[in-house]
């Protein structure tokens, strides 16, 4: 599964690990993705969204199910 935010499209970024001897090896920084129940087009879906999208309310979270009402 791709590590891409379903809302903003954020992807892993690339760089180098740099050792004390200045040896450089490739590394990746991954976005902080969380699964969230989201209301889209009147339907509840699970998406993978980064924490910045969740914190800034770019997605409308689905209402919680009430187990006591059932």
User: What's the CATH code, domain 13-62?
Assistant: 2.30.170
User: Which element (helix H / strand E) includes 53?
Assistant: helix 51-55
With a cut of 80, say whether residue 68 has pLDDT above it.
Answer: no
Domains in the chain: boundaries: 13-62
Pair 58, 39: CB distance under 8 Å: no
Confidence of residue 70 (pLDDT cuts 50, 70, 90): low
Average pLDDT over the chain reads 93
Mean predicted confidence (pLDDT) in 5-31:
97
On whether the pTM is more than 0.85, the answer is: no
With a cut of 80, say whether residue 67 has pLDDT above it.
Answer: no
Confidence of residue 64 (pLDDT cuts 50, 70, 90): confident
Q: Looking at residue 69, what is its pLDDT?
A: 67
């Amino acid at each position: 599964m791709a590590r891409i935010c379903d809302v903003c499209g954020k992807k892993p970024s690339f760089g180098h690990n740099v050792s004390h001897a200045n040896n450089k090896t490739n590394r990746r920084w991954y976005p902080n993705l969380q699964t969230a129940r989201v209301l889209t087009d009147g339907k509840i879906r699970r998406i993978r969204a980064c924490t910045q999208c969740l914190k800034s309310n770019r997605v409308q979270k689905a209402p919680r199910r009430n187990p006591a009402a059932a």
